[in-house]
Every structure is written in C-alpha cells, then in structure tokens.
Amino acid sequence: MGAASGVKRTRVGYCGGTKPYPTYRKVCSDKEWSDWAEAVQVDYDASEISYSDLVALFFKSHEPGMCGGKRQYMSAIFTHTPEQMAVAGEVFAVEKEKRKGRLGTAVETATDFYSAELYHQKWLLQRKSDWFKACGLTDGDQLLDSQAACKVNAFAAGHLSARALVDELDRLCQSGQMESDVWSSLRTKLRFEGCEGDD
C-alpha cells in the first residue's frame, strides 16, 4: 500500500478485536485475544487517491480467496464510516463477481487499532540499516509517522520503481516534509544521483 501515490503512511498492527492492548504473542497464543486480526492502517490524502481505489488496491495486493484458519490472518477491510462501509461493499461485490464468488474477505466496522511491536514495522527497511539512518530516523517509533520511510520501504519490497521513489521524495523535500540533507543522504545511499534509466 505504501507504494501508491496518495498514501502517506502505513503501519501494521491489530484491529477487529475487543480486549484492549493486543500484542503479537497474545494474538498468536491466547484465546482472550483470538478475535484480533493483523491489519495495515493506511493514512492517505483523499485528493490524491480515493477510498474506492484503496479498496481495489487491497484486493490486488493479496489473495483474498484464501480464508479459513485463524482470525489473526483473515482477509478483512475495517471501515471507519458508513460511507467507507458502502464503498467497500461495492468494490467487494465487483471483486466477488470477478472471482465467481470465491472471496473470503470480510468487511467489518473497525474497532480500535493497536500498532504492532516495532520489530514488525517497515520490516524490510529495518533490515537495511544504512537506508534507515539515511531516512533521518533515530529510533523505531519514527517508522510509524515517516512518509519517507513508507516510500523507501515500498521500494525495498520491489513495489515502487526508483524513478517513482525519487519523484515521491522530491515532492516531500519540496513541500518541506523532509529535510534536504535527509534527501541528499538518501540519494547517496540509494545511488540515485542521476536516476536515468532506473525504472
């Protein structure tokens, strides 16, 4: 999701359950937290990407026909407003018809969202410590709010081309949402000095 234009931040965590303060260990092994699902929370700019487009992207980004097993790993869309519920239902109906009824996704009203432990956040970016540092991040908590980290993680996962990443980071720098020295450091670490032919 972080690769999509208009998506500002993503964070992984838990949604859909009732007992407060789920953790990975609790959700995996304790019946009291078995109603929580692993989820991705997406902050986006509705003037750049619509909720309908986000829901369509959700269906393209995983195999929603796979269901069963633990609720923890369910395919689900958690909505926050009646309007989101209606839009998700419309996109769901189109997807269900395309897949001849084989769709295991649930559309539910969101409960509180709890961010997952930091070692789950931007997992690929955290494995590239020089990129992490080049993003101007000094600790894991900043992974949750950094737009640059969102885009660099999408690049690390292979979901964003070098040209698209450069464009996104240029935009952040020009709008004052990222310091120019951070962008300079990222360009060097990612070897984007010229950026010709790197799509």
Q: What is the pLDDT of residue 199?
A: 41
Residue 11: the pLDDT is 94
Q: Rounded to the nearest 10 degrees, what angle do helices 180-189 and 162-174 cross at?
A: 170
Q: Along the 199 residues of the chain, how does pLDDT read in single tens digits?
A: 999 999 999 999 999 999 999 999 999 999 999 999 999 999 999 999 999 999 999 999 887 766 567 899 899 999 999 999 999 999 999 998 988 878 889 999 999 999 999 989 998 888 888 888 888 887 777 888 889 999 999 999 999 999 999 999 999 999 988 888 888 888 888 877 544 434 4
User: What's residue 194's pLDDT?
Assistant: 45
Q: Please tell me whether residue 179 adopts helix, strand or coil conformation.
A: coil
Task: List, in sequence order, the alpha helices (H) in 71-175.
Answer: 82-98, 123-126, 129-134, 147-156, 162-174
Q: How many CB atoms lie under 10 A from the CB of residue 166? A: 20
CB proximity list for 26: less than 8 A, separation 6 or greater: 32, 33
Alpha carbon 92 to its chain centroid, in Å, reads: 19
Q: Phi, psi (5° rounding) for residue 38?
A: -70, 135
The confidence score (pLDDT) of residue 25 equals 95
